[in-house]
Structure 1
Amino acid sequence: MSFGPSALPLPAVTEPADATDAGFLAIDLGPSRLTCGVVDERGDVVLRDRIATPSRNVWPALTQLVKRVLAAKPSDVTPIAVGLTCPGPIDHGTGSMKPVGMPTWHDFPLRRELSAITDLPVYIDTAGRGLARAELWRGEFAGVPFADQNFATLSVGDEVDGALVSGGRVLEGLTDNLGQFGHLVVEPDGAECVCGAAGCLAAYASVRAIEASTGRELRRTPPARIDNVGTMLARACASLAAMLDVSEIVIGGVVPEVLGPPMFDALAKEFEVRSCLPHLESVRVRGVSSRQVGPLIAAAAVALAQHSVDAVAPD
């Protein structure tokens, strides 16, 4: 398993009329922190700011954060759209979300309100789907023929979700919420998940689940618990590989970055035991670095993909 692909050439983005470089205002919303920044057309983060998610008045706090970032943005980068990643499910029709465990955001018109304060088009998707778009933009799959771009992602952080890419397309599903892989059952009748079910991957591998079970910060997770996270991720990966027939499963987020090689060692051991079907012999499971496809880059990739579609769509 590798940890972090090298940079590859990126697709061009149309520049605004003032001849500055085009870029994106990128936002990542989570239960523990709100992150905002500016990402340029090459996918490099040129400005980053974040705050702890307050227990109340979250929207005013996010508004102040966004305005602070816009006021501090480099003069040579002009955002042309806003990309935002957040926990799902997402109502893409209204631009609102109903994340499990984050009732403050339920039915809040996030897209409309963000567009009002930024005067920019706003595009919203989950962290796992943002990771998939970032991988297509900046990762090992950038420049690979569409026919060979067949992989799944797992974003493992405050929440756990993912995406499925087939033939170069991030698949959407009936309600545009395909990829809620954090709710795959990895331990029947196991730990209770915030969704109300038992034994979900998120109940074992998310930051809040790990910290709640150990009483420690993520970076101080005991070795036995790290092994457990790797084991549960392997069970999910084996199920995904068997069901989806992909060439790779790409894992990103703060959990794999912090827990690192020991977690991946446990994952590899369990994955080998559970991947018994012949067509799974060549499946590759790998981690990616946040420097290459981190949360703000993933959010910008959401904006890049959707804004490009809107730009060529007929009126």
Structure 2
Amino acid sequence: MTCVLAIDIGGTKLAAALVDETGSILRSATRPTPRADVMNALAALVTEVTTGGPPPVAAGIGCAGPIDLATGTVSPVNMPSWREFPLRDEVRRLTGLPTMLAGDAQCFALGEHWLGAGQGSDTLLGIVVSTGIGGGLVINGSPLLGPTGNAGHVGHMSVDPNGERCECGGLGCVERYSSGPNLVRWAVGHGWKGEPADARTLAEDAAAGDAVALAAFERGSRALAGMIASVTAATETTRVVVGGGVSMAGKVLFEPLARALDDVAGLAFVRAVRVVPSVLGVRASLAGAAKLALDHSPSS
């Protein structure tokens, strides 16, 4: 049976696996992302996973961005040792395999479409709500990557052109309202005194009925709803899968999100979109990287 090497690279964790064409993980390993010498750590991880296992026919990589598909380079915001790093060529040189690269959120969307909460959908939007907000689109079963590989950057869609200035330089970006740190920032600015002041504590306080914590999630959910309605109107998305650390808040996030989407969506096909939580969780990006490799392997 055909198998591929899947790699998921983030600011805190490196993961690799051998995955067969059914999506079963044959071998896997993880390790923390070092501050320096990331490629050496990745090489050791790949060697650990592939030694003694069935030979993979291709490799797929999901990596934090920005990325540049034209050059195969990556410049992850939270990995300062990699700036315009030639990741695709380095993995190709390391493994001798045909190698595909995409953003980690794009791989999240593709993984959920293949094996998770997006199965059976025609057009899917995957959203990762965490320290930032990432996204990816799957259109007719294929990831929409864009010319440079940065399509699906929904966290930096403007939901309020007269709104707050985002860290990216734009105005009114979803991330400025809905990411974990920005939920907390707004809540602290309005009198919330959670300890520690992080998104998990904010979600716990919202679940316990704290008025400011609840208002922070209402505000963040409305920004997410505006973005979802806009993407759905543009692409006729049929399903939205939400993952990431903030999604672990459960109904504290999903109930106000459903109310806000019901309010802001007008057209019937926009109102028909289904919003569901991730099924695969942290495994979604690795699954998407595997699917990317399988779809572009020599045997496909």
Confirm or deny a common fold (TM above 0.5). yes
Mapped to 1, the partners of 2:270 and 2:133 lie a distance apart of 23
Which blocks of at least 5 consecutive residues in structure 2 are unaligned?
Answer: 189-195, 207-212
Partner of 1:270: 260
- 1:30 partnered with 2:49: no
Shift of 1:273: 1.2
Mapped to 2, the partners of 1:209 and 1:151 lie a distance apart of 26
Partner of 2:23: 43
Shift of 1:264: 0.6
Q: Which aligned pairs between 1:91-110 and structure 2 lie closer than 5 A? A: 91-110=68-87
Shift of 1:103: 4.1
Shift of 1:140: 5.6
Shift of 1:278: 3.5
Mapped to 2, the partners of 1:194 and 1:30 lie a distance apart of 20
- Describe the superposition over 1:1-37 as per-residue Cα deviations: whole angstroms up to 9, x where unpaired: xxxxxxxxxxxxxx3xxxxxx3232221222322223
- Kept in 2, the 8 Å contact 1:101–1:194? The answer is no
Letter in 2 for 1:169: S
Partner of 1:160: 133
- Kept in 2, the 8 Å contact 1:135–1:293? The answer is no
Mapped to 1, the partners of 2:78 and 2:31 lie a distance apart of 19
Q: 1:229 to 1:306 in 2, by over 3 A?
A: farther
Match of 1:185 among 138, 142, 158: 158
TM-score by length of 1: 0.76
Mapped to 2, the partners of 1:34 and 1:139 lie a distance apart of 21
Q: Which aligned pairs between 1:214-253 and structure 2 lie closer than 5 A? A: 216-222=197-203, 223=206, 224=213, 225-253=216-244
- 1:197 partnered with 2:167: no
Mapped to 1, the partners of 2:172 and 2:32 lie a distance apart of 28
Letter in 1 for 2:87: L
- Describe the superposition over 1:200-253 as per-residue Cα deviations: whole angstroms up to 9, x where unpaired: 223344455557777545433342244444333222212212222222222233
> In terms of mean alpha carbon deviation, does 44-53 or 235-244 score higher?
44-53
Shift of 1:101: 4.9
Q: Which aligned pairs between 1:112-123 and structure 2 lie closer than 5 A? A: 112-123=89-100
Shift of 1:175: 3.2
Q: 1:194 to 1:87 in 2, by over 3 A?
A: farther
Q: 1:297 to 1:31 in 2, by over 3 A?
A: same
Shift of 1:136: 3.6
Q: Report the identity percentage.
A: 32
Shift of 1:187: 4.6
Partner of 2:209: none
Letter in 2 for 1:43: G
Match of 1:131 among 108, 122, 142: 108
Q: 1:291 to 1:305 in 2, by over 3 A?
A: same
Which blocks of at least 5 consecutive residues in structure 1 are unaligned?
Answer: 1-14, 16-21
Partner of 1:67: 47
Mapped to 2, the partners of 1:179 and 1:287 lie a distance apart of 18
Q: 1:294 to 1:173 in 2, by over 3 A?
A: closer
- 1:283 partnered with 2:273: yes
Letter in 1 for 2:94: I
- Describe the superposition over 1:89-108 as per-residue Cα deviations: whole angstroms up to 9, x where unpaired: 32223211234454432211
- Kept in 2, the 8 Å contact 1:115–1:122? The answer is yes
- Kept in 1, the 8 Å contact 2:129–2:244? The answer is yes
- Give the length in aligned residue pairs: 282
Letter in 1 for 2:264: R
- Kept in 2, the 8 Å contact 1:23–1:40? The answer is yes
- Describe the superposition over 1:31-86 as per-residue Cα deviations: whole angstroms up to 9, x where unpaired: 23222233333213344433333333322332333333334x6x4x4432221111
Letter in 2 for 1:123: M
- Kept in 2, the 8 Å contact 1:242–1:280? The answer is yes
Match of 1:53 among 29, 33, 36: 33
Q: 1:45 to 1:99 in 2, by over 3 A?
A: same
